[in-house]
Copies of this chain bind each other. A is one copy, B any other.
Amino acid sequence: MFKINDNYLKLPGSYLFSTIAKKVNEYTAANPDKDIIRLGIGDVTQPLAPAIIEALHGAVDEMAHAETFHGYAPDLGYEFLRSAIAKNDYADRGADIAADEIFVSDGAKCDSGNIQEIFAQDNKIAVCDPVYPVYVDTNVMAGRTGTYDPKTETWSDVIYMPCTADNDFAPDFPDEVPDIIYLCFPNNPTGSTITKDQLQGWVDYANKNGAVIIYDAAYEAYISEDNVAHTIYECEGARTCAIELKSFSKNAGFTGVRLGYAVVPKDLKCGDVRLHDLWARRHGTKYNGAPYIVQRAGEAVYSDAGKEQLKKQVGYYMNNAKVIFEGLKDAGYTVSGGVNAPYIWLKTPDQMTSWEFFDYLLENANVVGTPGSGFGPSGEGYFRLTAFGSYENTVAAMERIKNM
């Protein structure tokens, strides 16, 4: 008789954004006349930039003729895309990453969920608290997190690194040394980040302790301050301790196009074994590459026209961030984030829990946000709004919140 993976049953509730979608659908069904503004999930709303549309059409035309048709992609991704990434995201920033250390994928969510597979089950993970839920949930599925305490909403074998107003949303080194450290800067959900010097401290800490850092740089394009690193490989020694995950979802609006990549430097080893070889084996065995047309779209992100158009797109969202930040401040809220990230993090008023504020906001302003507690216990009493809506909706949402 077959048996299931019991670890799945340990997961409390459903995936955060599935729960939110369900709640919103229920509210909409009961109140069909209400005009909902969605500033919850980090999904973009601006159309793809013209340079990307042009590249997509061109690649589709190639697929229409036998001479230019493309079947299975190379295991690591097409050379044209990996080279563009190596040049623009690394060499141009003084970071030493070769094209064959880059693995093209269909997005950072898959990569951040799958990367744990190449590690032993008895590694102990550390996560920022609050943070993107995929890191912990996928380790739960793999049986790496021990038992769940519903009272504290924590797992016995996970090291939580609180990021709250007390430490300016920057994690301290944990008391217990972890084996695998997930870092996400600029952080999802707090919208805060750490300086390059602070990140160097983490690289030094990992190298000293034999830990590996999984660095999620999905929001890198939103960095506006000079003393913040755009890639962990700007730090000395990162090649021996860090894997970096990147997404095209936020810098180029690819949430529905699906493209990302993982960097696994060849210097990153456990004894004699290169993690690069393990990830290559996983990629070759379980994955068949991102679509050719999508990889061509990714290439266009790095063209001159693409860069210029996307700079404007990011600017559009960052202007929304400013509207939200200042709107909330004017309305008397305590806010952070929004300077190097498209997320604004606010303290819920009147001691409300995060989910209480979710309902309050949905019912009274018809605005959807994300409860901070969904990202970890230290997110309780906080709430996330995203700058990914349209400008008009963002302004309207702030008006509604002010009048609440």
Contacts and interface: CB of A to CB of B under 8 A. Distances in A.
Interface string A44-55: 111110100100
A237 interface: no
Interface in A58-85: 60-61, 63-66, 69-73, 75
Nearest to A53: B64
Contacts of A390: 66
B71 A48 contact: no
A66 B46 contact: yes
A183 to B, nearest CB: 14
Contacts of A110: 286-288
Nearest to A277: B8
A70 B43 CA distance: 10
- Name the prevailing secondary structure of the A interface residues: loop
Contacts of A5: 117-121, 278
A300 interface: no
Contacts of A2: 119-120, 123, 179-180, 210-212, 270
Interface footprint category on A: 35 or more
A310 interface: no
A257 interface: yes
Q: Which of A48, A71, A120, A122 has the most B CB atoms < 10 Å from its CB?
A: A71
A48 B69 contact: yes
A118 B4 contact: yes
A180 to B, nearest CB: 6
A293 B211 CA distance: 40
A15 interface: yes
Contacts of A212: 2
A220 interface: no
B60 A286 contact: no
Interface string A228-261: 0000000000000000000000000101111000
Contacts of A1: 179, 209-211, 270
A56 interface: yes
A3 to B, nearest CB: 4
B287 A109 contact: yes
Nearest to A49: B64
A71 B47 contact: no
A106 interface: yes
A134 interface: yes
A294 B294 CA distance: 10
Contacts of A152: none
A124 to B, nearest CB: 9
A396 B302 CA distance: 42
Contacts of A281: 8, 11, 14-15
Contacts of A174: none
A293 B56 contact: yes
Given A110-B288, A285-B141, A291-B291, A64 B45 contact: no
Given A14-B284, A286-B109, A273 B69 contact: no
A215 to B, nearest CB: 14
A114 B286 contact: yes
A54 to B, nearest CB: 9
A60 B57 contact: yes
A261 to B, nearest CB: 14
Contact of A285 (B46, B56, B107, B138): B138
Contacts of A60: 53, 56-57, 60
B273 A9 contact: yes
Nearest to A269: B4
A278 B273 CA distance: 33
Contacts of A8: 118, 278, 281-282
11 contacts: A8-B281, A11-B281, A15-B281, A60-B60, A63-B257, A69-B256, A70-B256, A71-B253, A73-B256, A106-B258, A134-B286
